[in-house]
Amino acid sequence: MVAVPLPRRRRMSPRARREAMEGYVFILPWLVGLLAFVAGPIIASLYLSFTDYQVVQPPTFIGVANYQQLFGDGLFWQSLKVTAIYTVVTTPLQLCLSFLVALLMNQKVRLLGMWRTIYYVPNLVPAIATAMLWLWVLNPEFGLVNTLLRYFGIQGPLWLSSTRWALFSLIMMSLWGGVGAPMLIYLAGLQGISTELYEAVECDGGGGWAKFRYITVPMMTPIIFFNLVMNMIGALQVFSGPYLLTGGGPANATLFYVLYIYENAFQFFKMGYASALAWVLFIIILGMTVLVFKWSSMWVYYEGELRR
């Protein structure tokens, strides 16, 4: 037998070592932050989900009782229903609207910078200011929406106070604030599409629709996919709007899942139960994300790769 010498590991040069060291120093704050403020609480919450933890008393281990309790808790199902409706309605609406706006913002029109800013600004408005603004817009007596409806002889509803309209009001609000960010990402994607592809369609006699159908949409599918995942996760975790505007009411009509977690954790002294709720949400989000990823292989096209 001939002994095959193992390849000798090349020693790092002093300069490479220093650069690696500098790299670690640069990422250290994020690593420490991740371990101390994210990973630590995540692990702790997993343990707490198996305890009766009332915040002001030490936790006591109760096994899977919190998870068992979930199934018999009507408010758990109600919060799940509200969040599901919101996600199913807002996610496609936000995706389509922001795509449409991005297409408009990709045209060569005057004052383009101003239009782009106008559409993006709602994203920069703090949640508290957005909530106040919509409180005014949806005020049944003096609000903009009902005032406009009155011009057409329609008596508008009590929006945020109505069991029928409160969730719809929050959906409407989400469209105003949720279009800017995906629009910007779409816009970047649109500008990355090679003009040669459009010219090829023109050579084949295709018009505007053909360009959109056969070039723009397929080339944008990775961006659509990214926005779909981000918007879906964001919708499942929505909190500030319902917390500030409706508090989950009226009659639990806007009891979103994360709001219910918050109530249990910080208002009802049920941190253990809230932790179990949080882990169930994590599993739901993980499951849905995996499903969307699997589904994406059927319609997402990555340029330079074979269609999967």
**Interacting residues toward other proteins by CB under 8 A:** 54-57, 126-128, 131-132, 135-136, 139-142, 158-164, 240, 243-252, 263, 266-269
Minimum gap (Å) between residue 252 Cβ and other proteins: 7
Closest CB to other proteins among residues 42, 291: 42
The whole-angstrom separation of Cα 219 and Cα 275 is 41
Minimum gap (Å) between residue 37 Cβ and other proteins: 12
DSSP state of 269: S
How, if at all, do strands 60-61 and 51-52 pair? antiparallel
The whole-angstrom separation of Cα 277 and Cα 9 is 49
Minimum gap (Å) between residue 291 Cβ and other proteins: 33
Which CA distances in Å does 190 have to 7, 89, 187, 212, 219? 48, 25, 5, 11, 8
User: Which residue in the block uniquely carries the two structure tokens 């199902």?
Assistant: 77
Minimum gap (Å) between residue 129 Cβ and other proteins: 9
Q: Which helix (H) or strand (E) holds 168?
A: helix 166-178
The Cα angle at residue 207 between residues 205 and 212, in degrees rounded to 5: 125
Q: Which two tokens stand for residue 104?
A: 């408009």
Closest CB to other proteins among residues 186, 257: 257
Minimum gap (Å) between residue 167 Cβ and other proteins: 13
Which CA distances in Å does 60 have to 26, 53, 57? 40, 6, 9
Which CA distances in Å does 175 have to 96, 117, 159? 11, 16, 16
Minimum gap (Å) between residue 138 Cβ and other proteins: 8
Closest CB to other proteins among residues 38, 286: 38
The whole-angstrom separation of Cα 140 and Cα 282 is 37
Closest CB to other proteins among residues 158, 229: 158
Minimum gap (Å) between residue 132 Cβ and other proteins: 6
Closest CB to other proteins among residues 266, 302: 266
The whole-angstrom separation of Cα 227 and Cα 229 is 5
Closest CB to other proteins among residues 65, 288: 65
Which CA distances in Å does 116 have to 190, 196, 277, 284? 14, 26, 39, 35
Closest CB to other proteins among residues 140, 222: 140
Minimum gap (Å) between residue 162 Cβ and other proteins: 5
Closest CB to other proteins among residues 163, 194: 163
